[in-house]
Amino acid sequence: MRLPHDFVPPVPRTRTTVASADGTRIAVEVHGPDGAPTVVLGHGWTCSAGFWGRVLHRLGDEVRAVVYDQRGHGRSEHVPRGACTTDALVEDLEAVLLATVPDGERAVVGGHSMGAMALVALAGERPAVLRDKVCAALLASTGVGRLVDEARVVPHPGPLRAVAKAMTQRGMSDARLLTMLPRWGRRVAVSHITLSPAADRHERAYCTDVVLACPPHTRAGFARMLAGLDLGNHLKALDVPALVLCGTQDRLTPPRHSHRITAALPQSLGLVELSGIGHMTPVQSPDAVADAVRRLVRDHHVTAATVTA
Amino acid sequence: MTPTSGGAAALPERVHVLVVGAGFGGIAAAVRLSQAGHDLRVLEKADDVGGTWRDNSYPGAGCDVQSHLYSFSFAMNPDWTRSFSLQPEIHAYLHDVVRRFDVGRFIRCGVEVLGARWDDARSVWAVTTSAGDVLADVLVNASGPLSEPRLPDGVTTDTFTGTVMHTARWDSSLDLTGRRVAVVGTGASAIQLVPQVAKVAASVTVMQRTPAWVIPRNQHRIPAWRRALYRRVPAVQKGVRGAIYAGRELMVLGFVGRPALMRTVELLSRRTMEKAISDPHLRAVLTPRYRAGCKRILISDDFYPALARPNVEVVPQAVTRLEGDEVVGAGGTRRTADVVVFATGFEATDLPVARHVVGRAGRSLADVWSGTGMQALRGATVTGFPNLFFLIGPNTGLGHSSMVHVIESQLAYLLDALDLMRRKGFDVMEPQQRAQDAWNADVQERLSMTIWATGGCSSWYQDAQGRISTLWPGTTWRLRRQTRRVDLGEYRTARRADGAAPAPAPSAQPAAQPAAEQAVATQGGR
């Protein structure tokens, strides 16, 4: 199947590699013209920088978009399972921000799912970086804890709740399970977990390919991290204007996560709920995600000039 | 060891047949013409024979046609070590043919043809070379369509601080280990080069204008016992060669007859890509948007795996300029590089030799062709250019099989013409305009239905006007049939006007059974 044109990400103007604190090489792409407001976007579990392609096409030359591959994903260096931790994601994001956001400028930083978790964790652990480099935040389709408990991947009629939970955990972390399925089975499984029924065939095929492209041990490594995630206390440290966005049909991080996050943020700009959309909002609702980025840039971006003024 | 077993033939003042270029075409001409007892010389501008297979010495260079088929019918080689030979082995084979048939004495290397003018009064080609002037009764252009490196139009390189190279002018002293290399192009040369470079370079940036359909090569080594068998029982190798030939001829169905059949090639290519590349973004960039076959179908076992390596990036943009230490793409993308390799092919439709050849009316071939595109009669002869013959002339190229087969077909035509001259006692032959026009009208009509015209791409098969002037729209068997004998009804023939002495009688070789030899030439290759 040939994907529509905007699924193919724009060609990055430049590419660089940034070394994280533990030396892991993080692949970074820069899109859009120098001098435009910087937007840094972090993708979620099992995705890659190209996952932002549909959003980047919509943003065009309005912003200088920095997208990067999380460790173990895409073109970034592969790491052992033990190196798939929240702390490592924070260090990776820190390295990217320090390397790509020009001095004096504070960027709009957005994350989808695990990418947003990295930003929340950074707020708690690197307040100085948040203060110096981040002017506003976009938290798309994410949660800060109880991810396995609240996921609705496996339907759980009352008494079978524990079974459903175990299945979810197993399904997320077993490196082989997905690859053992036939091609159509993978598409059904990935579409069920990450997309809403409203998704079209291109979105289904694309998301399946993206998830399958993630090395199994990376998928498993971060599944363990996600299962134990608890960032509830870090939310109040994210003291920048922040917009929350989620799909109402999200099975992986259902809207109740976003409701809680919106309520806990010190400078919440509210919640954008996308009706009938699943977890992969940058794929299923690229217009809404691009609009959210635009809104943050318009209202909150801080350039070097504004800082000195 | 000297590179050739000859190559230093004396250059006489006058020769019956002068062949330009000592690649596959020139060497075959030397063998067949000398066997038929013709006085000849072959001029080669480089210091060594081999043509394409001398020039293209970049890492990974090899042939897309199986070795058993990509060799002369009159000089089978049982010792090929791979199903698809690499450049050093093919180059060595050509040296071996020169030695085996002792034709080095007809070849003069290091002499470039600077110009050739038809002298109508004396009915000879007055040829100017870097080693003096030569008169030739018959001029044979065997310089090939893929000899003059092409660079993309308008790309400025003068402010680039790194090294710039073309694949066909490879500097083997350059070590790419740990370097940042940019490869421009994703054609036949690039897909052979990139996997080799990716193994050693720090980074490889592949600049891609249009992706190619790539299918598996299925390269394998030919075991020693098979080689021994081919040596002892040549008929077995002939059988293998015939089977390969037949299989490839079937592919014409897809190119020429039913372009829809090419979907199967696309399916195979997609499967190959999916196996090697997991990233859907990269796969999308590499998937062509034209029907397979419109541009050359490429074969490789290691191209897609190489592109999946973390040190390789495909930038789907044309190059606009090289600047400082950067390659700048059409969309303004910038990638740093120490070395830029242009794998951008050759001037296939704008032959440099055409500018140097001036015909009866005082016009150069390039001038004549500038309005019409390259045109010839049966891919061999051109109105207004008496006694000029092409090997791999206009519309004789292939998308599916061995060019060596075409060369042998065209040689049979040339040999028949020379034989007719000798037997019927004329000295000058020139195709009639209406015969040439009719031939080209037929070729173009058949081309109009092929994948190359309908597949939705632009390619090097087409000239600047979009006319396909390089390809033969049919089976090689059909070309062979149509060039088996010269039809004198298509020609104007004449005796030499001033009654000047004809070329000296053949001295080098007795005219041993020319007819029998010719029969072999016309039937060989299958």
- For B400-431, how does the pLDDT look when each residue is reduced to its tens digit (9 = 90+)? 899 999 999 999 999 999 999 999 999 999 99
Asked whether the domain spanning B156-212+258-342 has the same topology as the one spanning B14-148+347-523, the reply is yes
**Residue B128, beta-bridge partner list:** B115, B133
**pLDDT value of position A309:** 40
**pLDDT value of position A303:** 79
**pLDDT value of position B11:** 86
Q: What is the pLDDT of residues B349-361, one digit of tens each?
A: 888 889 999 999 9
**pLDDT value of position A157:** 64
- Between CA A282 and CA A279 the distance in angstroms is 9
Right CATH for B14-148+347-523 from 1.20.1070.10, 3.50.50.60, 3.30.70.1560, 3.90.1310.10: 3.50.50.60
A14 contacts in chain B (CB < 8 Å): 333-335
**pLDDT value of position A180:** 84
A 7-66 → B contacts, CB under 8 A? 7-15, 27, 48, 50, 53
Burial-class residue B347 by CB neighbours within 10 Å (0-12, 13-18, 19+).
Answer: middle
Residues in chain A with pLDDT < 70? 1, 156-159, 175, 304-309
- Check if A74 contacts B (Cβ < 8 Å): yes
Instruction: Using the structure block, give the residue that is written with the tokens 């409203």.
Output: A198
Task: Report the chain A residue with the minimal C-alpha distance to residue B335.
Answer: A14
B284 contacts in chain A (CB < 8 Å): 3, 7-8
Give the architecture (CATH level 2) of A5-308: 3-Layer(aba) Sandwich (3.40)
Work out the number of other CB atoms within 10 angstroms of the CB of residue A183: 10
Would you place residue B514 in the very low, low, confident or very high pLDDT band (cuts 50, 70, 90)? Answer: very low
Q: Which of A12, A206, A212 has its CB closest to that of B333?
A: A12
Q: Average pLDDT, whole number, for chain B? A: 90
For the whole model, what pTM was predicted? 0.89
Q: Which of B284, B317, B331 has its CB closest to that of A7?
A: B284
Least confident residue range of A167-181, B10-24, B375-389, B502-516: B502-516
Q: Where are the domains of chain A?
A: 5-308
B317 contacts in chain A (CB < 8 Å): 11
Whether B108 shows a pLDDT value over 50: the answer reads yes
Say if the Cβ atoms of B280 and A210 lie within 8 Å: yes
- Between CA B213 and CA B453 the distance in angstroms is 17
DSSP letters, B406-475, are HHHHHHHHHHHHHHHHHHHT--EEEE-HHHHHHHHHHHHHHHTTSHHHHSS---TTB-TTS-B-SB--S-
Q: What percent of chain B has pLDDT over 70?
A: 93
Nearest-CA neighbor of B256 among B63, B463, B408, B398? Answer: B398
Q: What is the pLDDT of residues A106-128, one digit of tens each?
A: 999 999 999 999 999 999 999 99
Task: Report the chain B residue with the minimal C-alpha distance to residue A31.
Answer: B333
- Check if B316 contacts A (Cβ < 8 Å): yes
Q: What is the pLDDT of residues B443-495, one digit of tens each?
A: 999 999 888 888 888 888 888 888 999 999 999 999 999 999 999 999 999 99
**C-alpha distances out from residue B178 to A76, B181, B191, B311, Å:** 19, 9, 20, 11
**C-alpha distances out from residue A301 to A61, A110, A243, A287, B193, Å:** 16, 13, 13, 20, 46
Q: Which CATH class is domain B156-212+258-342?
A: alpha beta
Average of pLDDT values for B328-352?
91
**pLDDT value of position B526:** 31
